Structure 1
Amino acid sequence: MAIDYEKIMKLESGPWTVSYTDRETMLYALGLGMGLDPLNADELPFVYENGLKVLPSQATVVAWDNELLAKSGVNFIMVVHGEERLTVHAPLPYEGTIECKGKVTGCFDKGEGKGAIILADTEIRDKATGQLLVTLGMTIFARGDGGFGGPAGGGPAPHVLPERDFDKSVAYRTLESQALIYRLSGDRNPLHADPNFAQMAGFPRPILHGLCTYGNACRAVVEAYCDFDPTKVVEFNARFSTPVFPGETLETQMWRDGNVVSFRTRVVERDVVAINNGKAVIKD
């Protein structure tokens, strides 16, 4: 079924309401590997309800939505998550009730056999007050849906990393069970748990969620440049490059220029870049 450009550009989802507690907040941080050392006083506030802190990347799981893609008519098996963008308007609370609404904001035809690019945004608001908390932006590469006659082009231009040596790096080794923990925050795609399904998709074993690697990079920036204060992050944008296997080590390399932290995340064991063209904006 080919993409109908006029139809897809009118697609919306929601509003839908999500309630979550401190349990979901702590589970998300554990899914990123935080708290592995229970005596780490800097990470303990992310996994313990006494003074609980929230990573801004948690917004990607509390507002999890497959409805837009389900309505779009694309070949879901051929879909790849290309980019994730996050803008913080007000800090996400560690528990509460939020209202979310999504919409398609762009669709580009790369040509027959070359796929399509779909852009979508999700707004997260406090249910009680209506205050806008976070805006999420997502770029989807629909590899099997090019040639539908839509406009040429693509998504936002990637952030260019500095050419000098990186200023700081932080490395975390993921657990062999990392994907099995992380999927409990919402994305239960069997690609991340079922070895047989992973092999059918062309992988030797289940892969780590791209958004888990994304959250891991956010964790690194919060450690390196925010003194473990997640409320300092205003924007967090990145492009996905290579899948990660649970158990591999993720090294996030960072450059700071004023309030902008550029970053990329490398898989140490294979010397490949998993996340590229990263841009975080932090408060002074």
Structure 2
Amino acid sequence: MPIDVAKALAADPRTSPISWGHKDVQLYHLGLGAGIPATDPGELRYTLESRLHVLPSFATVAGAGMAAMGGLAAPGIEIDLAAVLHGGQSVRVHRPIPVTGEATQTSTVSAVYDKGKAAVIVLRSETSDADGPLWTSDSSIFVRGEGGFGGERGPSERLEVPSREPAFTVERPIREEQALLYRLSGDFNPLHADPEFAKLAGFDKPILHGLCSYGMTLKAVVDTVLGGEVGRVTSYRTRFAGIVFPGETLRIRMWTQQGRIQVVVTAVEREDAPVLADTVVEHRA
């Protein structure tokens, strides 16, 4: 069997050093569409080193963002990467991410679920610096054709969309070149840049990185609901429900509760086709 669940779960953690600086943070924010208008004080917090703060979703790209995905090479996992989809992502921040940092990232396979025709591998990364824990990140990796091994199906995290009108609705355009800029933060998958590769994968043209939509959405929530204060975010999770193309527009609907914001993201130009679902931002008052 390509996935030996017991072996994968028992494998020793993989530990690696990571580091980042203000240029990495600025590049990431620009890849999310920050900096428009360029002189807006709210945007300068994402783009100007003297005022810089760090979106918690930066945790997905810190240190080039590939350490967690290295879990797919863990003992007990032998899969065709062409069958792999990023199914979901969560980040819990234990304190604000510093603009410049050196840290140790420890990655494990925390779970493997049997979805019948597919398997879901949950890759967990714990990141700490000299002052203690910084963040915990879980990536849910959907592997087509690898289910049916008799394992647990795992939790169902589907959220009902509230029946009431959202408290806030904003739209965020995706620039034509945005995927080309975002990939410089570490994800060089040609699916997001090479038209010929995208056609081989079944798409008319390159698609935007799911984690770019993830970051764009968190920025919209922080700017719209949390007064631009990234330090108020404690956790952020989503399920990748569909694709979006550069040149399209994200419609981001937000429902607020005490300490919690539920979000639904769709593609405006394709009759609100789903992009992100089961999305929740938890925050401090």
Using the size of structure 1 for normalisation, the TM-score is 0.94
Q: Which amino acid aligns with 1:186?
A: G
**1:184 aligned counterpart, secondary structure:** helix
Answer yes or no: is 1:85 the counterpart of 2:90.
Answer: yes
Distance 2:71 2:79 in 1: 10
Give per-residue Cα distances to partners, 1:186-226, cap 9 Å, x unaligned: 11111111111111111111110000000011001101111
Q: Which amino acid aligns with 2:249?
A: T
* Aligned match of 2:114: 109
* Aligned match of 2:284: 283
Distance 1:47 1:14 in 2: 33
Q: Which amino acid aligns with 1:211?
A: L
**2:10 aligned counterpart, secondary structure:** coil
Could you list the runs of 5+ residues in structure 1 that have no partner in the other structure?
Answer: none
* Aligned match of 1:96: 101
Pairing of 1:24-43 with structure 2 (within 5 A) = 24-43=24-43
**1:121 aligned counterpart, secondary structure:** strand
**1:68 aligned counterpart, secondary structure:** helix
Pairing of 1:1-284 with structure 2 (within 5 A) = 2-62=2-62, 63-65=65-67, 66-71=69-74, 72-111=77-116, 114-126=117-129, 128-129=130-131, 131-147=132-148, 149-270=149-270, 271-284=272-285
Q: Which amino acid aligns with 2:258?
A: G
Using the size of structure 2 for normalisation, the TM-score is 0.94
Distance 2:92 2:223 in 1: 19
Deviation at 1:150, TM superposition (A): 3.8
Could you list the runs of 5+ residues in structure 2 that have no partner in the other structure?
Answer: none
**2:37 aligned counterpart, secondary structure:** coil
- The answer (yes or no) to whether the contact 1:106–1:120 under 8 Å persists in 2 is yes
Q: Which amino acid aligns with 2:79?
A: V
Distance 1:13 1:185 in 2: 25
- The answer (yes or no) to whether the contact 2:157–2:278 under 8 Å persists in 1 is no
Percent identity between the aligned chains? 38
Number of aligned residues: 279
- The 10-residue stretch of structure 1 (169-178 or 60-69) with the greater mean CA deviation from structure 2: 60-69
Superposition misfits of 4+ residues, deviation over 4 angstroms = none
Distance 1:109 1:257 in 2: 33
Give per-residue Cα distances to partners, 1:38-61, cap 9 Å, x unaligned: 122211111111121110000001
Give per-residue Cα distances to partners, 1:236-266, cap 9 Å, x unaligned: 0111111111111111100001111000111
- The answer (yes or no) to whether the contact 1:16–1:100 under 8 Å persists in 2 is yes
Give per-residue Cα distances to partners, 1:14-71, cap 9 Å, x unaligned: 3111111100000000000000321222111111111211100000011432211123
Deviation at 1:136, TM superposition (A): 0.6
- The answer (yes or no) to whether the contact 1:232–1:282 under 8 Å persists in 2 is yes
- The answer (yes or no) to whether the contact 1:13–1:67 under 8 Å persists in 2 is no
Deviation at 1:152, TM superposition (A): 3.0
**2:2 aligned counterpart, secondary structure:** coil
Q: Which amino acid aligns with 2:126?
A: E
Distance 1:160 1:119 in 2: 23
